[in-house]
Chain A
Amino acid sequence: AQKITQTQPGMFVQEKEAVTLDCTYDTSDPSYGLFWYKQPSSGEMIFLIYQGSYDQQNATEGRYSLNFQKARKSANLVISASQLGDSAMYFCAMSSGGSYIPTFGRGTSLIVHP
């Protein structure tokens, strides 16, 4: 079975500062993918970044980077230079092996202050 844990229900950050959103995972499958999604108040789920279990380097997409620590089973999202528009819910998710069913965490609410 696969499991995603997001322990931060809410986070606050000052505009232009960096913020790290925590995500730990558990799976017995050596092949898996990790994802982060952003859900603004409009409700749409926006894909941010992907990390494969065999990827040697941490994934980066613009201001988003994924701090992948395989031995610790963590996949933290780092947002650099926060903007007011980054205020949203953020979900960590994973898919492993040949499963068609992803597992989502409970989400972290991020509020960016001006």
Chain B
Amino acid sequence: SQTIHQWPATLVQPVGSPLSLECTVEGTSNPNLYWYRQAAGRGLQLLFYSVGIGQISSEVPQNLSASRPQDRQFILSSKKLLLSDSGFYLCAGSQWPLGREQYFGPGTRLTVT
């Protein structure tokens, strides 16, 4: 079965500092990968998704970027964090159009101060 690893679990960063969140997938190859953000008590906002190495689609224009340097690695970055970047970041994978559900990592709680 597929497993998503994310780190760190929590992160506190000052405004204007850079960000790098890493997500790796275990147990499958060629997954579709996703970055979501969730504000406290809210639903999931899709930020980026990728169907292959170097292929990134952005769903929301913002202060963030994503990269997929390897098949099972997905990185979320920012050059300068804003207060509004605070939230819970989830990495997910899927095998669509084959496979069924998305599988999620444990998430990273980011607080920008």
Question: Chain A at the B interface: mostly helix, strand, loop or mixed?
Answer: loop
In the complex, are the beta carbons of B107 and A47 less than 8 A apart? Answer: no
Q: Is B74 an interface residue (CB 8 A)?
A: no
Question: Which residue of B has the minimal Cβ distance to A43?
Answer: B107
Q: Is A87 an interface residue (CB 8 A)?
A: no
CB interface residues, A 47-97, toward B, < 8 Å: 47, 50, 91, 93, 95
Range of interface residues on chain B?
20 to 34
In the complex, are the beta carbons of B51 and A100 less than 8 A apart? Answer: yes
CB-CB under 8 A from B90, the residues of chain A are 43, 45
In the complex, are the beta carbons of A43 and B101 less than 8 A apart? Answer: no
In the complex, are the beta carbons of B106 and A43 less than 8 A apart? Answer: yes
* Contact residue among A47, A93, A95 (Cβ-Cβ distance under 8 Å from B103): A47
CB-CB under 8 A from B46, the residues of chain A are 101
Question: Which residue of A has the minimal Cβ distance to B101?
Answer: A47
Which stretch (B13-21, B75-83, B91-99) binds chain A?
A: B91-99
In the complex, are the beta carbons of A100 and B49 less than 8 A apart? Answer: yes
Given contacts A43-B109, A45-B104, A100-B51, contact A95 B44 (CB under 8 A): no
Q: Is A25 an interface residue (CB 8 A)?
A: no
Given contacts A44-B106, A44-B107, contact A95 B43 (CB under 8 A): no
State the interface size on chain A (CB cutoff 8 A).
Answer: 22
Question: Chain B at the A interface: mostly helix, strand, loop or mixed?
Answer: strand
In the complex, are the beta carbons of A50 and B101 less than 8 A apart? Answer: yes
Question: Which residue of A has the minimal Cβ distance to B104?
Answer: A45
* Separation of A33 and B101 alpha carbons in the complex (Å): 8
Question: What 1/0 mask marks residues of chain A from 5 to 34 whose CB sits below 8 Å from any chain B CB?
Answer: 000000000000000000000000000010
* Contact residue among B43, B51, B100 (Cβ-Cβ distance under 8 Å from A104): B43
Q: Which residues of A contact B (CB under 8 A)?
A: 33, 35, 37, 42-47, 50, 91, 93, 95, 98-102, 104-107
A-B contact pairs, 24 of them (CB 8 A): A33-B101, A35-B101, A35-B102, A42-B106, A43-B90, A43-B107, A43-B109, A44-B105, A44-B106, A45-B92, A45-B104, A47-B101, A47-B103, A50-B100, A100-B32, A100-B51, A100-B94, A100-B96, A101-B46, A101-B59, A102-B102, A104-B43, A104-B44, A106-B43
